[in-house]
């Protein structure tokens, strides 16, 4: 069970809230799905705007985050279905709830402050804890076991392809052949041995990102979702996706473009929306956020 500091819950700031709400909601009595509900920050603002017949589906792979979202959204519980699953299974989830499709779908692909604050989850290089990195701790294998089961060359490729880390080969070598690789401190030490001091924090961030993506198969989940997107939305329904690195944003961009070429989707953001300078000042997490919005037209 996640031992989450109360402060971590209270300071969580959802990214680009006003932009999400204004772009997502077209019918206050529609069906809205948040595929990465997290602690429920965006969900709360969406629910405030829904009418009496509006319905909300909150999905997350992280059971701990989902429990906090349930607590945070108790006031609206009669309108919400909480589902512990991947957004890649949205089609099955909608069918199970007897909904044909959704009026609006939101994906915020970033980590929550709760996940980063809990050292035992292994998402952050700040502090020390178990090298886990799984969104769903009841399935899959931890980052530590992932490293054991992959070769030096495979890890090097992961660090380059998912993190664009230019010291990927040297880092992969030290990761594989360090004495034990069980904690985030162990991983940081392997990175430290492999990189020059200048901009080393960027290497920490890129390596942790790359391994997290690989452990959770994040890009495959996104690809699976995007392949079903057109059928998940009702005519006139909106899709809002917030990404935080170029790999995700590229997949979303090309998927939207393909659907537009097939005359199925109108792209409402010719260029991705970004956080205002004020929001970036108040919430540094929003600095790398890119929001793309589409509307099903056929």
Q: What is the pLDDT along the chain (298 residues), one digit of tens a residue?
A: 334 433 334 446 899 999 999 999 999 999 999 999 999 999 999 999 999 999 999 999 999 999 999 999 999 999 999 999 999 999 999 999 999 999 999 999 998 878 888 888 999 999 899 999 999 999 999 999 999 999 999 999 999 999 999 999 999 999 999 988 999 999 999 999 999 999 999 999 999 999 999 999 999 999 999 999 999 999 999 999 999 999 999 999 999 999 999 999 999 999 999 999 999 999 998 999 999 999 999 9
Q: How far apart are CA 196 and CA 171, in angstroms?
A: 12
Contact between residue 82 and residue 156 where contact means Cβ atoms under 8 Å apart:
no
pTM of the model: 0.93
Kindly report, residue by residue over 207-240, the tens digit of the pLDDT: 999 999 999 999 999 999 999 999 999 999 999 9
3-state secondary structure of 177: helix
Q: What pLDDT, on the 0 to 100 scale, is given for residue 117?
A: 84
Handedness of CA 116, 142, 252, 250 (dihedral sign): positive
Q: How far apart are CA 149 and CA 88, in angstroms?
A: 25
pLDDT of residue 120: 87
**Under a CB-based contact definition with an 8 Å cutoff, are residues 285 and 205 in contact?**
no
Instruction: Decide the pairing of beta strands 31-34 and 102-108.
Output: parallel
Ramachandran quadrant class, 55 (left: phi over 0; alpha: psi -120 to 50; beta: rest):
beta
| Separation in Å, CA 100 to CA 79, 114, 238 | 17, 33, 15
Burial of 140 (0-12, 13-18, 19+ CB in 10 A): middle
| 222 class by beta-carbon count within 10 Å (0-12 exposed, 13-18 middle, 19+ buried) | buried
- Set out the domains of the chain in order of their start, with CATH numbers: 6-114+219-296 (3.40.50.150), 120-217 (1.10.150.170)
Q: Nearest Cα to 31, choosing from 105, 109, 108, 107?
A: 105
Pairing of strands 265-267, 102-108: unpaired
| Neighbouring residues of 262: CB distance < 8 A, sequence distance ≥ 6 | none
61: its two tokens: 């792979």
Q: CB of 122 within 8 A of CB of 184?
A: yes
Which residue is it, tokens 């929550």? Answer: 112
| Residue 235 backbone phi and psi in degrees, to 5 | -60, 130
Token representation of residue 295: 């509307």
Per-residue tokens: 121? 């989850």
Query: How does pLDDT run across 71-120, given as a tens digit for each residue?
Result: 999 999 999 999 999 999 999 999 999 999 999 999 999 988 788 888 88
Q: CA 37 to CA 31: how far, in whole Å?
A: 15
Residue entry with tokens 């030490």 = 189
Q: How many Cβ atoms are within 10 Å of 201's Cβ, its own excluded?
A: 13
């Amino acid at each position: 069970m996640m031992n989450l500091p109360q402060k971590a819950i209270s300071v969580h700031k959802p990214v680009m809230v006003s932009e999400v709400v204004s772009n997502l909601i077209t019918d206050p009595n529609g069906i809205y799905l948040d595929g990465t509900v997290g602690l429920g920050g965006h969900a709360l603002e969406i629910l405030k705007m829904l009418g009496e017949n509006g319905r909300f589906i909150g999905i997350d792979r992280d059971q701990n985050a989902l429990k906090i979202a349930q607590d945070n959204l108790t006031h609206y519980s009669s309108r919400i279905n909480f589902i512990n699953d991947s957004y890649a299974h949205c089609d099955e989830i909608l069918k199970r709830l007897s909904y044909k499709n959704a009026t609006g779908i939101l994906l915020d692909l970033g980590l929550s402050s709760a996940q980063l604050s809990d050292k035992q989850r292994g998402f952050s290089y700040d502090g020390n804890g178990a090298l886990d990195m799984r969104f769903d701790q009841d399935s899959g294998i931890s980052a530590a076991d992932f490293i054991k089961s992959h070769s030096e060359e495979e890890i090097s490729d992961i660090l380059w392809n998912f993190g664009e880390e230019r010291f990927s080969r040297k880092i992969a070598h030290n990761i594989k052949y360090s004495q034990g690789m069980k904690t985030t401190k162990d991983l940081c030490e392997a990175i430290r041995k492999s990189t020059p001091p200048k901009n080393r924090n960027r290497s920490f961030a890129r390596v942790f990102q790359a391994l997290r993506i690989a452990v959770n198969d994040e890009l495959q989940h996104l690809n699976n979702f995007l392949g079903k997107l057109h059928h998940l939305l009702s005519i006139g329904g909106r899709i809002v996706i917030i990404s935080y690195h170029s790999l995700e944003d590229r997949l979303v961009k090309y998927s939207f473009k393909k659907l537009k070429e097939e005359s199925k989707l109108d792209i409402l953001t010719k260029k991705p929306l970004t956080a205002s300078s004020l929001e970036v000042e108040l919430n540094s997490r929003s600095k790398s956020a890119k929001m793309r919005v589409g509307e099903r037209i056929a």
